[in-house]
């Protein structure tokens, strides 16, 4: 009888524990106002933009939120506006945090932390290298797609000191390390549109009933050199331009796609679960500016199945 009692207590404890874990609902981490940068509307409490040295920066307050004043903390000083803020980026490459908040508001949702990263300009690349990191050579842009396939304006330098920094609420810098090298520093290309899509898509995945605090990343930026080295014959892969990523859900922490369809197997059908959500995502009007390429891939014995998403501007699947 005593044994049965203890077994009952243990079962109850496990039940309570599992309920407690499940109660930790996914949070989108949106502020109670939005900003607009480069035509992207950003409600996230943490976001990052990538600019050139001394580039003119303009961040607007979303039109529907212009019924009050806002404060920007910039370079140790504060400035006030009800509609927009403009300033010139630092002349040296690096990380320069900025905070925009509602005036006289103290709630945790009343400010947006904006990481301003000043890039190393493409012009600093010497031959196939930038400061010892091999980039290779970008292909000439097709005549009818020069805007979409032009060389990147610059490269973000990833050092040990910024690995733990959140680019957005659910994605840290370390997520975007390349597979080209296990050494630091690395130099990558990254676009704001991809960061925004990752956050919005993560929220949609959670709403669809697949809990995840972030995505595992198989591949993000690939330099032309590395893209060729791994045998990829797609000369204009979006991975070269910083707006494509291969992702999966990994709640078990084993760097392998979880069993999303619950059939007891780890295969392409799990990636197809994400594929279907991503396809619906691209078809929603609210995400029209973030639509792009989409495909699912089989596991290969080295890594699990995954899907590719990007923000090329048109919805295509393969």
Give CA angle at 185 (312, 97), nearest 5°: 70
Q: How far apart are CA 309 and CA 290, in angstroms?
A: 10
Residue 2 has pLDDT above 70, yes or no: no
Neighbours of 250 (CB within 10 A): 17
Can you give the pLDDT at residue 20?
38
Distances (CA, A) of 189 to 63, 73, 177: 30, 27, 11
Query: For residue range 9-34, what is the model confidence (pLDDT) as tens digits?
Result: 444 443 334 333 343 689 999 999 99
* Whole-Å CA distances, 300 to 176, 265, 306: 22, 14, 11
* Tens-digit pLDDT profile for residues 264-313: 999 999 999 999 999 999 999 999 999 999 999 999 988 999 999 999 99
Q: Each residue of 232-252: pLDDT tens digit? A: 888 899 999 999 999 999 999
101: how many CB neighbours lie within 10 A of its CB? Answer: 19
Average pLDDT, the chain: 93
**How many Å apart are CA 178 and CA 135, to the nearest integer?**
12
CA distance 190 to 260: 29
Specify the long-range contacts of residues 77-84, CB closer than 8 Å, at least 24 apart. 84/58, 84/59, 84/60
Q: Please, how many CA atoms are within 13 Å of residue 255, restricted to the half-sphere of its CB?
A: 7
pLDDT tops 50 at residue 84: yes
Domain 26-118: CATH superfamily is Immunoglobulins (2.60.40.10)
- The bridge status of strand 111-118 relative to strand 46-51 is parallel
Query: Which tokens belong to 149?
Result: 């396939």
Q: Which part of the chain has CATH 2.60.40.10?
A: 26-118
Q: Which of 141-145, 231-235, 251-255 has the highest average model confidence (pLDDT)?
A: 251-255
């Amino acid at each position: 009888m005593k044994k049965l009692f203890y077994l009952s207590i243990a079962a109850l404890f496990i039940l309570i524990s599992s309920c407690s874990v499940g109660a930790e609902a996914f949070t989108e981490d949106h502020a109670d106002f939005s900003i607009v940068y480069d035509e992207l509307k950003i409600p996230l409490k943490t976001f990052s933009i990538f600019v050139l040295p001394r580039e003119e920066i303009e961040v607007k307050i979303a039109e529907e939120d212009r019924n009050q004043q806002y404060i920007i903390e910039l370079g140790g000083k504060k400035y006030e506006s009800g509609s927009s803020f403009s300033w010139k980026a630092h002349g040296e490459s690096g990380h320069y945090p900025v905070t925009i908040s509602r005036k006289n508001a103290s709630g945790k949702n009343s400010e947006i932390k904006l990481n301003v990263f000043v890039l190393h300009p493409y012009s600093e690349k010497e031959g196939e290298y930038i400061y010892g990191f091999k980039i290779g050579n970008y292909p000439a842009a097709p005549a009818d797609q020069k805007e979409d396939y032009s060389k990147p304006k610059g490269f973000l330098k990833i050092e040990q000191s910024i690995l733990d920094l959140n680019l957005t609420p659910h994605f840290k810098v370390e997520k975007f390390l390349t597979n080209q090298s296990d050494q630091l520093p690395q130099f990558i290309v990254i676009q704001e549109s991809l960061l925004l899509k990752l956050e919005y898509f993560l929220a949609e995945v959670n709403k669809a009933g697949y809990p995840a605090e972030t995505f595992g990343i198989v591949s993000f930026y690939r330099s032309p050199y590395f893209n060729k080295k791994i045998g990829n014959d797609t000369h204009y892969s979006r991975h070269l331009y910083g707006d494509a990523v291969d992702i999966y859900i990994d709640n078990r922490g084993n760097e392998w796609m979880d069993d999303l369809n619950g059939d007891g197997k780890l295969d392409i059908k799990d990636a197809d679960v994400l594929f279907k959500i991503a396809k619906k995502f691209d078809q929603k009007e609210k995400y029209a500016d973030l639509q792009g390429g989409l495909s699912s891939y089989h596991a290969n014995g080295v890594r699990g199945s995954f899907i590719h998403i990007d923000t090329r501007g048109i919805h295509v699947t393969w």
